[in-house]
């Protein structure tokens, strides 16, 4: 499931980071589907973990800079998602690197991210527009 324009938040830095996130998550899904090496999948998981934490930090900094009223709710959702990524990694490792685990988990992650952008992140862009 690739990033599509209807997922645009309307804030350039957030949209660019979302696009990159989807790109890498899609590569992870494809790597699992194509039975690529466990090392490659592990590398992608590391990237997604690091990138997600950086993206959330940037998004939270932006929300604070505009005094976004939904900051606490967003922060809680971000914490939840980081924990889900940690579970994904643990499940993958516990399964001995099962590709099926990574395919199923990746679909769950992409679905969650799509819902998060559509239901929460778009509100940041809408709020930012009211400040102009």
Lowest mean pLDDT among 27-36, 62-71, 91-100: 27-36
In a domain, 95, yes or no: yes
pTM of the model: 0.81
In a domain, 10, yes or no: no
CATH number at residue 42: 1.20.120.50
- In the chain, how many domains are there? 1
In a domain, 4, yes or no: no
For 60-72, the DSSP string reads HHHHHHTT-TTHH
Kindly report the average pLDDT of the chain as a whole number.
85
* Amino acid 121: pLDDT: 92
Distance CA 12, CA 19 (A): 11
* Amino acid 99: pLDDT: 73
Residue 30's domain spans which residues?
17-130
For 58-88, write each residue's pLDDT tens digit.
999 999 999 999 999 999 999 998 998 888 8
In a domain, 89, yes or no: yes
In a domain, 44, yes or no: yes
pLDDT over 90, % of the chain: 35
Residue 7's nearest CA partner among 110, 81, 131 is: 110
In a domain, 73, yes or no: yes
In a domain, 30, yes or no: yes
Distance CA 41, CA 18 (A): 20
């Amino acid at each position: 499931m690739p990033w599509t324009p209807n997922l645009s938040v309307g804030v350039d830095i957030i949209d660019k980071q979302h696009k990159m996130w989807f790109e890498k998550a899609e590569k992870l899904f494809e790597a699992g589907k194509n039975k690529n090496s466990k090392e490659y999948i592990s590398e992608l998981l590391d990237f997604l973990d690091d990138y997600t934490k950086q993206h959330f930090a940037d998004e939270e900094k932006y929300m604070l800079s505009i005094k976004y009223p939904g900051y606490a709710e967003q922060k809680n959702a971000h914490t939840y998602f980081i924990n889900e990524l940690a579970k994904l990694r643990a499940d993958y490792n516990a399964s001995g690197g099962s590709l099926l685990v990574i395919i199923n988990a990746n679909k769950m992650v992409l679905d969650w991210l799509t819902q998060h952008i559509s239901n929460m992140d778009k509100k940041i862009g809408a709020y930012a527009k009211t400040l102009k």
